[in-house]
Amino acid sequence: MGAMCASMVYPLARYIIPPDVPEAQTSRVVAGHEGDLKPNEGKVFRFGDRPGILVRLPDGRYRAYSATCTHLNCTVQYRGDAKQLWCACHNGFYDLNGQVVAGPPPRPLDEFVVNVAAGEIVVTRS
Amino acid sequence: MGVGALVDLGRHKRVPLHRHTLWYYMGGMTLFLFGIQVATGILLLLYYRPSADQAFESVQFIVTKVQFGWLVRSMHSWSANLLIFVMFAHLASVFFMKAYRRPREVTWLTGVALMGLMMAFGFSGYLLPWNKLAFFATQVGTEVAGAVPVVGPFIMRLLRGGEQVTGGTLTRFYGFHVAVLPALTTVVLGVHLLLVQKHGMSEPPSVIEARRRSGVPAKSMAFLPHFAIRDAIGWCAAMAILAGLAAIFPWELGEKADPFAPAPAGIRPEWYFCWMFQALKILPGHILGIEGELIGIFAIGLLAALVLLVPFIDRTPGPGDLRSRLINIAALAVLAIAGVLTVLAYMPAAGGPS
């Protein structure tokens, strides 16, 4: 009886567990072009299958981070009025080094390396 | 069992009459609204397409092109919310009237299971229009499940159908919403209704005690036709309220989900999840070296376990011993806290965009 139940339950359980699909490890993307962002602006870009965020600081330099909030995985945005990164889901704030300033996020955002070459803003996983 | 036997059963079934009798209508009202959900849900199935490319557009098609599609969709959404509200009222009335006590422990357990199923219906159904709010609500909700120690990551993958919320998650939630949850609900609801018939309506201990002191005999009315007619009047009123809400306040569709767009300002889940959402919002990142969200999830889990097991904690038959009163006070405190957290969730966040 037990063996019969197991022979039915096992394939069913294996079927509903999604198969492991190896993620293509993206380590470098073109996040935009010079002139896309004005100083004190930010935009979310696609970094593989996850979102990243590119910020043009008020002094014109670029910074990029993972856009996934470390609290519960919402996508953060840049707030020019506060000069901080903000997660609207649970009101978490990060400074321009990705460090948590306020709210519930437990860890800083992962920072990426930004290079500007031939007008392209290239973001690389550090 | 023939129709005659059912009518006979209804005629013999008696409903106690006392100052709390009104609360007996909540169970039937919940069942009626569930019926509306099934009917409008089947109608929506005729046009809905469960894929990331077509889900939003198909709901848009329903509300803009299909004759009375806006009415069916709005009634489904409004009725879902009213159902949860009436179900909470039913649960609270059963709780405070101590109707979970022996011999109705299993009736209570099936009732709490039904509440969990209805909330699962709400959570899975919320994603189906594939709009921005739904996308992030699912992101957060499944992430909360993923934060549960040991089994969390497995549950999260199982719910999402992968590592991220994608079109695969939408298809999975559709399957849960229209097949798995209805099947489970049919079984649990069947047992619940059977037990209600077997044990009859419970009278609050305070009513029994007052009657014992006064010596006045118990009053009751026949389920058929007296209670059933009153039930039917309530259902007609609920139908009118639903139609009015659907016509005057049609349910919004919002903007199509974009996994690579930031979470919109003012995002919050359905009102019945708001207290949990707000609790996770105000908990700090770390409490005594433990991540705040973990403590929040543990507290919510503990509360759910206490609600489920209350018949085995409060077993005294009398109306007001100390343990019973303490349980009432704790329940009122939890309701007050949940109410305050819900109100806070609807207020603008400190530091949010002006």
Count of A-B CB contacts under 8 Å? 97
Whether A104 and A111 have beta carbons less than 8 Å apart is answered as no
Which residue blocks in A1-126 are alpha helix, DSSP H?
2-16
Whether B293 sits inside 8 A of A72 (CB atoms) is: yes
The β-bridge partners of B15 are: B221
Asked if A106's CB is within 8 angstroms of B266's CB, the reply is no
* Side-chain half-sphere CA neighbours of A75 within 13 A: 27
**Tell me, what's the pLDDT at A24?**
67
| Interchain contact, A81 vs B354, CB within 8 Å | yes
Tell me which chain B residues have a C-beta less than 8 angstroms from the C-beta of A77. 262-263
> Nearest by CB to B140, which of A16, A74, A100?
A74
Q: Say if the Cβ atoms of A51 and B349 lie within 8 Å.
A: no
DSSP 3-state of B115: helix
Cross-chain residue pair A102–B144, CB shorter than 8 Å: no
A88 to chain B: closest CA residue = B265
**The complex's ipTM?**
0.84
Look at residue A94 and tell me if it is in a domain. Answer: yes
Residue B53 burial (10 A CB sphere; 0-12, 13-18, 19+): exposed
pLDDT tens for chain B, 354 residues long, are 578 888 888 788 899 999 999 999 999 999 999 999 999 999 999 999 999 999 999 999 999 999 999 999 999 999 999 999 999 999 999 999 999 999 999 999 999 999 999 999 999 999 999 999 999 999 999 998 998 889 999 999 999 999 999 999 999 999 999 999 999 999 999 999 999 999 999 999 889 988 889 988 999 999 989 999 999 999 999 999 999 999 999 999 999 999 999 999 888 899 999 999 999 989 988 888 888 889 999 999 999 999 999 999 988 776 667 888 899 999 999 999 999 999 999 988 766 665
- Residue A53 inside a domain? The answer is yes
> pLDDT tens across B280-296, in order?
989 988 888 888 889 99
> For A101, which residue in chain B has the nearest alpha carbon?
B285
A120-125 and B14-17 beta bridge pairing: unpaired
How far, in Å, CA of A107 to CA of B258, rounded? 25
What is residue B113's predicted lDDT score, i.e. its pLDDT? 98
- Residue A108 is assigned to a structural domain of this protein: yes
CA distance readout (Å), A109 to A93, B45, B71: 10, 41, 44
Whole-number Å distance between alpha carbons of B286 and A107: 10
Closest partner CB to B261 (pick from A72, A75, A103): A75
Domains of chain B: 3-259 (1.20.810.10)
B345: helix, coil or strand?
A: helix
Answer for the pair A68, A79: CB distance below 8 angstroms, yes or no. Answer: no
| Residue B353, pLDDT score | 65
Identify the pLDDT of residue B350. 67
Among A21, A73, A77, the residue to mutate for chain B (most B Cβ within 10 A): A73
CA distance B126 to B120: 10
* pLDDT on residue B275: 95
Q: How far is CA B256 from CA A115, B123, B132, B143, B179, in A?
A: 33, 18, 6, 21, 25
Q: List CB contacts (< 8 A) between A86 and chain B.
A: 351
Distance from CA of A4 to the nearest CA of B (A): 23
Q: How far is A75 from chain B (nearest CA, A)?
A: 5
Q: Give, in order, the Cα–Cα distances in Å from B284 to each of B116, B278, B288, B339, B342.
A: 28, 12, 10, 21, 18
CB of A124 less than 8 A from some CB of B: no
Q: Is A77 within the bounds of a domain? A: yes
Interface test with A, best of B132, B133, B139 (most A CBs within 10 A): B139
At A16-49, the pLDDT tens digits run 888 887 766 788 999 999 989 999 999 999 998 8
**Which residues are within 8 A (CB) of B238 and not within 5 positions of it... i.e. 6 or more apart?**
B29, B32, B33, B82
Taking alpha carbons only, the member of A89, A92, A36, A103 closest to residue A64 is A36
Please report the pLDDT score of residue B352 as a whole number. 65
Per-residue pLDDT, B265: 86
With H, G, I as helix, E, B as strand and everything else as coil, classify residue B100. coil
**What range defines the domain where residue A112 resides?**
23-125
Contact B312, B105 (CB under 8 A): yes
A108 contact B CB<8A: no
Contact A88 B267 (CB under 8 A): yes
Residue ranges of chain B whose CB lies within 8 Å of a chain A CB? 136, 139-140, 143-144, 147, 154, 157-158, 160-164, 168, 259-267, 277, 280-286, 291-293, 349-354
Q: Which of A41, A68, A90 to mutate to test the interface with B (most CBs of B within 10 A)?
A: A90
Nearest to B263 among A17, A21, A87 (CB): A87
Q: What is the pLDDT of residues A71-126, one digit of tens each?
A: 999 999 999 999 999 999 999 999 999 999 999 999 999 999 999 999 999 999 87
B317 secondary structure, DSSP code: -
Residues 6+ apart with CB under 8 A from B187: none
| Cβ-defined contact of B280 to A104 (cutoff 8 Å) | yes
d(CA B330, CA B325): 9
CATH of the domain at A91: 2.102.10.10
The confidence band for A1, taking pLDDT boundaries of 50, 70 and 90, is: confident
Residue B140's nearest CA partner among A72, A86, A87 is A72
Alpha carbon of B148: minimum distance to chain A alpha carbons (Å): 12
Which residues neighbour B33 within 8 Å (Cβ) at sequence distance 6 or greater?
B79, B82, B83, B86, B238
Chain B residues closer than 8 Å to A104 by CB: 280-285, 292-293
Q: How confident is the model at residue A66 (pLDDT cuts 50, 70, 90)?
A: very high
| A20 touching chain B per CB within 8 A | no
Q: Phi-psi category of B98—alpha, beta or left, where left has phi over 0 and alpha has psi -120 to 50?
A: left
Which of A46, A103, A107 is opposite residue B260, by nearest beta carbon?
A46
What domain count does chain A have? 1
- Exposure pattern of B259-269 as b/e (b: 16+ CB <10 Å)? bebbbbeebbb
Q: Is the CB of residue A121 less than 8 Å from the CB of residue A33?
A: yes
Is A13 domain-assigned? no
What are the CA-CA distances from residue B31 to residues B111, B124, B298, B348 (Å)? 12, 20, 31, 36
B99 three-state secondary structure: coil
For position A28, what pLDDT does the model report? 92
β-strands B219-222, A50-56: how paired? Answer: unpaired
Q: Which residue in chain A is spatially nearest to B140 when comparing CA positions?
A: A72
DSSP H or E segment with residue B124: helix B105-127
Q: Say which residues have a Cβ less than 8 Å from residue B224's Cβ, sequence separation at least 6.
A: B7, B10, B11, B13
Which ranges in B200-321 belong to alpha helices (H)?
Answer: 205-214, 228-248, 274-282, 292-313
